[in-house]
Amino acid sequence: MTSKKFPNIVPEFLSYVLYETQSSRESIEEPSTPNQLLLAEELVTELKSSGLQDAHIGKGGVVYGTLPATPGCEDCPGLGLIAHMDTSPDAPAVNIKPQILVYEGKDVLLNPEKEIYFKEESFPEIKKYLNQEIIFTDGTTLLGADDKAGIAAITACMDYLKTHPEIPHAKICVAFTPDEEIAKGTVNFDIEHFGAQYAYTFDGGEIGTLETENFNAATAFVQIAGVVVHPGLSKGKMVNSLKLAAKLISRLPADQAPETTEGYEGFIHPNKVEGTVASTTVRILIRDHDKAKFEAKKELLKKLVEEIQESEPRAKVSLTIKDSYENMRPYLDQAPKVMEIVRQAYREAGIEPIEEPIRGGTDGARLSTRGLPCPNVFTGGMNYHSVYECIPVKSLEAAADVALSLVRLSSQIKSLK
């Protein structure tokens, strides 16, 4: 299990996942949950021990640290390595119990007491990792590989550089962000303070994947105010906001749902409903890689909301749509050298890049739109935001290898043009 190059990567990863760092969409604090700061403090300590003496927690809980350039590389563009500390609020994440099991080509028993299995039929991707050690949970919580695997890959790389000072490199800028899962990871990210001219988020999926484009994203909130009357006396009077919410959800196109789409296909996804007869709120995610189709989905939702209002004039139905992030592809197209560098880093690590769109978003998308080109590198995990989340040990080590390749190449980059 121990990697010769990165002997501490698995123990460090296992220690990170024990921190309860779920972010919260409902919170107005920065970061959204205080436990993220506990991990941030630990990471500052680790970065300082690896030679990043300026490591500190900045505004909003963002961790920054810099490894100065080696002699002769001071004029090379600064390289950024980024991962996020929070885990998804979409699955249980308290009392995580990671376990390392060898996948032997059959269903994996995760929890004998509760008879929870990781089933090949449901997750056929696992077949690519026959006879490998894989880190699972006990099937009751997510693992946190999204994105503590990214953190582990970066810290393992920094550990390696400490014991191999002979490796030349440009200034290496490290950052760990909070609240990425709730689209707030870069709200307080200070690009100028960070100091990199180009960067890579380590927040991707299976080994070899390289992501240069992501969804355009928005979140819609439908507010429905009904009319409350005692149910025994309500004929012709009551307007049940819950039923109107159900009607709206039933009219969303079945072929534009997460469970029926893949690749470049976008979706309209109701992911939270809260309410009573009197008042109901429906939260709906809108996603598409194509900007025109993205806007068309917004217009469709507006039309459906108007139809619900027209069907029941006594109710009050309103819609608010807030954009979350953009597709980073147009911005990365303006920085082709950044992509050339990462493709070379994959190949120097013995991995052929598999370029594919992200069916989601990353901090890198938001940073790219703000002028810091930032593609997304794999971390090796699977089934994120799920109690069936897992990560092959070799894939995690491979992510650290790519980080190290990027560091080595940074000494050869004189210009990003």
Q: Is 323 annotated as a binding residue?
A: no
Which amino acid, 107?
Answer: D
Query: Is 181 flagged in the annotation as binding?
Result: yes
295 is in an annotated binding site: no
Bridge partners for 219 per DSSP:
285, 322
With beta carbons less than 8 A apart as the criterion, state whether 273 and 245 touch: yes
Residue 242, classified by CB atoms within 10 Å of its CB into exposed (0-12), middle (13-18) or buried (19+), is middle
120 is catalytic: no
User: Is 180 in the active site?
Assistant: yes
* Rounded Cα distance, 376 and 362, in Å: 8
Q: Which of 149, 187, 99, 192 is nearest to 379 (CA)?
A: 149
Structure tokens at 214: 């992501």
Give yes or no for a contact between 214 and 325, defined as CB atoms under 8 angstroms apart. yes
Got the DSSP string for 363-387?
HHHHHHHTT----EE----BSTTST
Is 203 annotated as a binding-site member? yes
CA distance 101 to 93: 20
H/E stretch holding 282 = strand 279-288
Are the CB atoms for 179 and 189 separated by under 8 Å? no
Q: Annotated catalytic residue: which of 12, 46, 179, 180?
A: 180
Active-site annotation holder among 86, 265, 363, 397: 86
Distance CA 137, CA 150 (A): 18
Is 90 annotated in a binding site? The answer is no
Mark the binding-site residues, compressed into ranges: 84, 146, 181, 203, 385
Binding-site residue ranges for Zn(2+): 84, 146, 181, 203, 385
**Mind telling me the catalytic residues?**
86, 180
